[in-house]
Structure 1
Amino acid sequence: MEQPPFLVLLYYLYTDIEDPELYRDQQRALCEELGLFGRIIVAKEGINGTLSGPRSACEAYIEAMHADPRTAAMTFKIDEEQDHVFPKLSVKARDEIVTLGLGDEDISPNEYTGKHLTPKEWKEEMENPEAVILDARNDYEYDLGHFKGAIRPDIGNFKELPEWIKEHREELDGKKILTYCTGGIRCEKFSGFLVKEGFEDVNQLLGGIVEYGKDPEARGENYDGECYVFDQRVGVPVNHVNPSTVSHCIHCGEESSRYVNCAYPPCNDQHFCCEKCEPASGRYCCEKCRDAAAAAAS
């Protein structure tokens, strides 16, 4: 069977970048030369990226990153696709490659982080009755898919998580904490925050959900639904053992993992809408938005 012509690369590394603005420009030039699309964030603390492009171009990018001493240890998670999953290229320099909202008390994962569990170890620990599985992603990501029994923090943004932890500390004290995210980058900082907060048994899924789904032993078992990704695919399958759908169309209630944005621009909220209900719903998330759109058009 012929290989799909495009690859999607998901990667991050906490590494010292002396001049983020210069490195940003170098990354943009490299990606433009290779014809890669996607999003890259660079900061003094490292690099975080997701790219798509022709197979040969992605392989050349990986080779270039491994040839740079700063990113020689980079691990790439790779998907095969038929085309780009991004419409354009965005490369930005910021203060952090992922924002936990701690300001001057920001966590360096090279100093503080939880114990990394391989997918095999994670799968075993999920059966531990003393373990608490804590999703470190946003609420809409959880709603598309999550590990069985995982706690859903009521947050719309990662930087709200520290405050949520402080409000729910009694539920977590004395427990073995298992935390996870999409590819692992958020857990690096979040688990470090938990360690600094005094939690004694903090663990994170090495490589995140994506790696768990690719692992030949774990094969995504006991992950319900799909994994939310920040590209045109929106959701990708994870579980190759006992898959299920956990999300439902808000209009008819039937199982659906199809996320759409509300057609009323000031709202734009993501919601589940099956193909059958889209024509009648007009992609509005509620009657209030439909009425507001009609009033704005009149």
Structure 2
Amino acid sequence: MQVLLYYCYTPIADPARFRDEHHRLCLALDLRGRIIVAAEGLNGTVSGTPAACTAYMAAVQADPRFAALEFKVDEAPAHVFQKLHVRLKDEIVHSSLRHVRPHERTGQHLSPQEFKELKDRDDVVVVDVRSDYEYTLGRFKNAITLDIENFRDFPERVERLREFEGKKILTYCTGGVKCEKASAFLLEQGFENVYQLHGGIIKYGQEVGGEDFDGQCYVFDNRVAVDVNTVNPTVIARCHHCQQPSPRLVNCANPHCNAHVPLCEPCAEQLQGACSTSCAEHPDKRPYDGTGTYPRQSNHYTPAQGLASYKAA
């Protein structure tokens, strides 16, 4: 199978209609994944056969609104999603920056090679705009992190970057979609030299080997995390329980907690997938199967049901 990661900020005049049409396209190609449609654009990750993914990319880019959209293409042994969801939302990435229009003004795009050449200069600061559970698993060497539980917290953290005014600010995220809004907001707030890693961590790994990205990159599918650094890889995450180095990120088996935490195999077995003793003893704790992921059961789901349910609502 192939996995496609993509986004595009572009006005969509009738997002509800586009959503239905796009869902039908995915049904015809037997794709699975999560796609968000909004008036501001399109954002998604899907998996399918190489032929289906090729047809999907051609169909999307044939639309003049998405002619400039770039796909990050990865390989996987099987589907990385159980279902197909094509959802209509207010934004293609949840933030508190609905007024920001990246297609009109955003930070300057840097290719992975350009980012690599700039990131270690004295007049540069590299800023991770992702959530804490993502950068705990992996991040660029010497990157500034902002203690963000959710991207919507980003505007509240911007003042922490005032000490770096006058330097070039290089933002990065998984695939680029958050950086578009983050860098645009920084410009709005008076920062002048604002840049973003075009294509995000994923493209950086594909094009320049992921050099100096420590740890793994969190992804929003059943793989949970992927390796991106083939040059100087290392593990930076530490087990939430014993503090030993561990690249394994799990969801706490207590569904009322569901925290994203690194947990080594011995501790995961001891706590049966829970992040703490109290969560391990919770009466609603889910059975631990060794993976630490808990995808929703399909329950005889078919992708067409998603469209029917949406239309019924």
Give the TM-score normalised by the residue count of structure 1: 0.92
Show CA shifts across 1:227-246 (max 9, x none): 11000001111111100011
1:224 and 2:224 correspond: no
2:263 counterpart letter in structure 1: C
Counterpart of 1:140 in structure 2 is 133
Which residue among 170, 176, 179 is the counterpart of 1:178?
170
Whole-Å Cα distance in 1 between the matches of residues 42 and 240 of structure 2? 37
> Residue 118 of structure 1: CA displacement?
1.1
1:183-262 equivalences under 5 Å are 183-215=175-207, 218-262=208-252
Q: Do structure 1's residue 128 and structure 2's residue 121 form an aligned pair?
A: yes
Name the SS of the counterpart of 1:70 in structure 2: helix
CA-to-partner distance for each residue in 1:80-116, whole Å, 9 max, x for gaps? 111100110111111111232034xx21112221111
TM-score (norm 2): 0.88
Q: Does 1:91 align with 2:86?
A: yes
CA contact (8 A) 1:42 1:92 kept: yes
Q: What amino acid does structure 2 have at the position aligned with 1:278?
A: A
- The letter for the 2-side match of 1:211 is K
- 1:195 Cα deviation from its structure 2 partner: 0.5
Deviations 1:244-277 (A, max 9, x none): 0111222333221111111212111111112222
The 1-side partners of 2:70 and 2:197 are apart by 15
Q: Which residue among 101, 114, 133 is the counterpart of 1:108?
A: 101
Q: Write the distance in 2 (CA, Å) between the matches of 1:9 and 1:270.
A: 24
Q: In structure 1, what is the equivalent of residue 20 of structure 2? A: 25
Paired with 2:50 and 2:102, the residues of 1 have a C-alpha distance of: 31
Equivalent residue pairs, number: 285
How far the C-alpha of 1:191 sits from its partner, in A, is 0.3
Indicate yes or no: 2:87 matched with 1:54.
no
Q: CA deviation at 1:278?
A: 2.0
Q: Helix, strand or coil: the match of 2:65? A: coil
Q: In the alignment, is the contact (CA less than 8 A) between 1:85 and 1:233 conserved in 2?
A: yes
Cα contact 2:170–2:196 (8 A) shared by 1: yes
Give 1:186 shift: 0.8
In structure 2, C-alpha distance between the alignment counterparts of 1:265 and 1:176, rounded to whole Å: 42
Residue in structure 1 matched with residue 275 of structure 2 by the alignment: 285
Percentage of matched positions with identical amino acids: 52
CA deviations on 1:144-200 (whole Å, 9 max, x unpaired) are 10000001111111010011113x143232221111001111111110100010001
Per the alignment, do residues 169 and 212 of structure 1 end up closer, same or farther by CA in structure 2, a change over 3 Å counting?
closer
Stretches of 4+ moved more than 3 A in 1?
291-295
Q: Deviations over 1:41-78 (max 9, x none)?
A: 11111100100011111111111112222222221100
Show the counterpart of 1:158. Answer: 151
Secondary structure of residue in 2 paired with 1:276: helix
Gaps of 5+ in 2: 286-313
Whether the aligned pair in 1 keeps the contact of 2:254 and 2:284 (CA below 8 Å) is: no
| Counterpart for residue 302 of structure 2 | none
Distance 1:102 1:14 in 2: 13
RMSD: 1.5
Question: What SS does structure 1 have at the residue aligned with 2:244?
Answer: coil
User: Residues 289 and 46 of structure 1: is their aligned pair in 2 closer, same or farther, counting only changes over 3 Å?
Assistant: same
In structure 2, what is the Cα distance between the partners aligned to 1:76 and 1:278?
35
Q: Distance in 2 between matches of 1:12 and 1:290?
A: 38
Match of 1:64 among 54, 59, 65: 59
Contact 1:114-1:203 at 8 Å conserved across structures: yes
How far residue 294 of structure 1 moved from its aligned partner, in angstroms, is 8.2
Between 168-177 and 92-101, report the one with greater CA deviation: 168-177
Q: Which residue of 1 aligns with 2:304?
A: none
Contact between 1:7 and 1:55, CA under 8 Å: does it hold in 2? yes
Q: Distance in 2 between matches of 1:211 and 1:94?
A: 26
Task: Give the corresponding residue for 2:294.
Answer: none
Q: Which amino acid aligns with 1:41?
A: I
**Among 242, 257, 263, the residue aligned to 2:253:** 263
